[in-house]
């Protein structure tokens, strides 16, 4: 599925979250047990186009755009931190009448998932973390440097070159052109450059260092790209040890592990959901 088709599938699916006039867009398909996919920065739910669609014949899959990202609201005047994203996730699940679910998360989506699983452990049965932010692992220099006012002042060509560096050069091997085009698309719209800057300055390591990881009761699988320099595998090992979970090392992958290892990613998640790992 290309990014235009993914956006079209989201077009009539939005909810108001966090008690404000903030719309959260989401992809939804399938029936059965709910699996929620949470992306990070600077991506959007299109990151999960393969994993989510692979599972939707057997599960109820939901892949939201975090507020401020993708097709969700991107205007001024609301919080984009992972603390706020946790509340938005809770509001989304309430709106969809989802009582319990599995969370599959990447990057800052992992920080959102970990906070939610610690604060509402009864709602999270299983947790898949892939190169997620946790403890004091973030923010990373590349994202910090995308914050205001620097990004807002960039020439559009320079800004797009930064995105190409992240998504094209940041892939393991030759990047799929549709992945690169899709990841860039929301940020290249009018106002997208400022929206990314707003998201970048909302990254706050306190929002993961303050988590009571011992409160998380969900069964954990860490699917971690071993070669990632932004979220090193040592953090995945620490998370798996503390939560008594399983860590599976995925070679031939950098930070975009659901994309770099899409040949096995959905299969590993499916096995975990079925209790085969």
CATH number at residue 96: 3.40.50.1820
- pLDDT surpassing 90 at residue 229: yes
Residue 63 falls inside a structural domain: yes
Contact between residue 40 and residue 68 where contact means Cβ atoms under 8 Å apart: no
> Comparing 60 with 18, which gets the higher pLDDT?
60
Task: Say what the pLDDT of residue 153 is.
Answer: 84
Residue 268 lies in a domain: yes
Reply yes or no on whether the pLDDT at 17 is more than 90: no
Residue 35's pLDDT is what? 98
Is 183 within a domain? Answer: no
Residue 121 has pLDDT above 90, yes or no: yes
| Domain assignment present for 123 | yes
Position 148 in a domain: no
Query: What pLDDT was estimated at residue 32?
Result: 97
The band of 276, judged by pLDDT with boundaries at 50, 70 and 90, is confident
Whether 48 is in a domain gets the answer: yes
- List of residues 6+ apart from 40 with CB closer than 8 A: 47, 105, 106, 107, 108, 109, 110, 132, 133
Q: What's the distance, CA 96 to chain centroid? A: 19
In a domain, 177, yes or no: no
Asked if the model's pLDDT at residue 148 lies above 80, the reply is no
Counting residues of the chain whose pLDDT is more than 90, the rounded percentage is 90
- Whole domain around residue 57: which residue ranges? 3-138+205-273
Q: Please state the rounded mean pLDDT for residues 271-276.
A: 92
What's this model's pTM, rounded to 2 decimal places?
0.97
Instruction: Confirm whether 105 is domain-assigned.
Output: yes
Domain count, the chain: 1
């Amino acid at each position: 599925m290309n990014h235009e088709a993914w956006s079209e599938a989201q077009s009539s699916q939005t909810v108001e979250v966090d008690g404000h006039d903030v719309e959260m867009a989401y992809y939804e398909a399938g029936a059965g047990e709910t699996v929620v996919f949470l992306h990070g920065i600077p991506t959007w739910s299109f990151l999960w186009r393969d994993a989510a669609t692979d599972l939707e014949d057997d599960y109820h899959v939901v892949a939201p755009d975090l507020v401020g990202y993708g097709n969700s609201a991107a205007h001024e005047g609301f919080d984009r931190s992972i603390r706020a994203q946790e509340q938005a996730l809770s509001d989304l699940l309430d709106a969809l009448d989802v009582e319990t679910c599995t969370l599959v998360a990447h990057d800052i989506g992992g920080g959102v998932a970990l906070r939610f699983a610690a604060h509402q452990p009864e709602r999270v049965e299983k947790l898949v973390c892939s190169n997620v932010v946790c403890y004091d692992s973030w923010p990373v220099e590349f994202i910090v440097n995308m914050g205001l006012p620097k990004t807002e002042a960039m020439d559009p060509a320079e800004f797009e070159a930064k995105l190409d560096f992240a998504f094209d050069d940041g892939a393991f091997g030759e990047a799929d052109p549709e992945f690169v085009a899709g990841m860039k698309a929301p940020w290249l719209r009018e106002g997208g450059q400022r929206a990314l800057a707003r998201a970048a300055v909302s990254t706050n390591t306190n929002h993961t260092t303050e988590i009571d990881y011992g409160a998380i009761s969900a069964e954990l699988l860490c699917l971690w790209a071993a070669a990632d320099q932004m979220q090193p595998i040592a953090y995945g090992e620490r998370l798996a040890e503390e939560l008594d979970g399983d860590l599976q090392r995925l070679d031939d992958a950098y930070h975009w592990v659901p994309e770099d290892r899409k040949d096995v990613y959905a299969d590993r998640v499916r096995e975990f959901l079925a209790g085969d790992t």
